[in-house]
Amino acid sequence: MKITIYLLIACCMLLSCKIFKSESLQETNESILEEAKTYKNFRGFKPVDPTEFRDDILIISNDELILKDLRLLNSEETLGFLNNETVLVSIGQITSEGEINYIPFTMSKKNTSYKVTMDYMKYATLGQEDEKNNFIGYKRVGVGLRLISLITTAEAGINISDLYSIGLAAKSGKLSGTLIIEIIGIKSKDVTTLLPLPSEINQTTIQNAMQALATIKSKIYDSETRLYPQVMAIKEDENARGRKTENVVFVDGKPIAMSSEIETIPEIDNSVKLQFQNNKVGSDGLEKQAARLEKQALEHLMDKEIDKAIQDLEECERIFPQYHSVYEILRLLKQNRQELADKNSLKWKELYNGILKNFAWRLPESIKAELQSLAAE
């Protein structure tokens, strides 16, 4: 009888410990999830509504680097630019105000709404500065497939980073929601035909969506498919958020003080700049413009258009001082401008030989070959 009583006491103690441990663990999990709610704890790329990216891109053509508008690239050139691939899952908790806070955790809370975004991207990562040359973050520019689950959970502890787990939870009534599919930057009749139209979330709609996305992914490399890279995700620089810019106070055109307290027009948020603006990091954008202007000027020289060549070289020197031998060639052209105004002048042959002898070290091979041909005439 005593043994039975002891066993009952032991079982009660173990059960109470288990209940206490379970409650303690649940409280700990709730605490962790509360701390993880804000974007401050999220360090990854944040998906954004796709927006068209417009800029000139350096590509290789005939063993040369040339600038070309991204929207004018053919499919092969675009795929060469988009040389990275990833599958990114981002979980955003929807607040009562309708805002989305991205979190680094994958387990759900009870009675909470989430936006779960799964992206397949073929992309390039570009750094960006603002108009004051402060680094503000990165953007991923590319094409891809996006699956968005807008869900509300009825229970805690659901793995909402996995689509099949979401489907099982929906089947058992643990969550509800809708499914959205987006094809980003991929234009093809076949792709449009393959796009499913799911509504509520369940195992069948998720399975159909995944099968369709796998087929659409294979169409990216088809010759008839056109690619139009978009801004798909951004990542703000943590230091840029807290950076303050002091304001200079002017009286009669003279600076008299610096203050960070003066009321100014609110600056555009860095996340908006990353999504909609194309300012590049450092002098890379200026260098591309300089390369384009230098090449144009040399082509004008080969056509014996002295004024156009000087105009392009002056612009090149203005935006990127000391680029290659632009200053020296510009000076040479201005010194001989009057004689070179005559396209039949022997000075042209002398000019071509002088450029080949003194400034050929950074010229494209095709330009050098053409100059050599003109100098030999």
Task: Please say if the pLDDT value at position 245 is more than 80.
Answer: no
Rounded CA-CA distance 324/342 in Å is 27
pLDDT tens-digit map of 132-143: 767 788 889 999
pLDDT tens-digit map of 154-200: 999 888 888 888 888 888 889 998 888 899 999 888 888 888 776 67
Q: What is the pTM of this model?
A: 0.59
Tokens of 284: 């890379």
Task: Please say if the pLDDT value at position 118 is more than 80.
Answer: yes
pLDDT tens-digit map of 301-336: 989 999 999 999 988 887 777 788 888 899 999 999
Rounded CA-CA distance 353/287 in Å is 27
pLDDT tens-digit map of 40-78: 445 578 889 998 887 777 777 776 777 777 888 888 888
- Alpha helices (runs of H) in the chain, residue ranges in sequence order: 2-35, 75-81, 163-171, 189-194, 203-218, 238-242, 270-276, 284-302, 306-319, 326-335, 337-340, 347-358, 365-376
Rounded CA-CA distance 291/286 in Å is 9
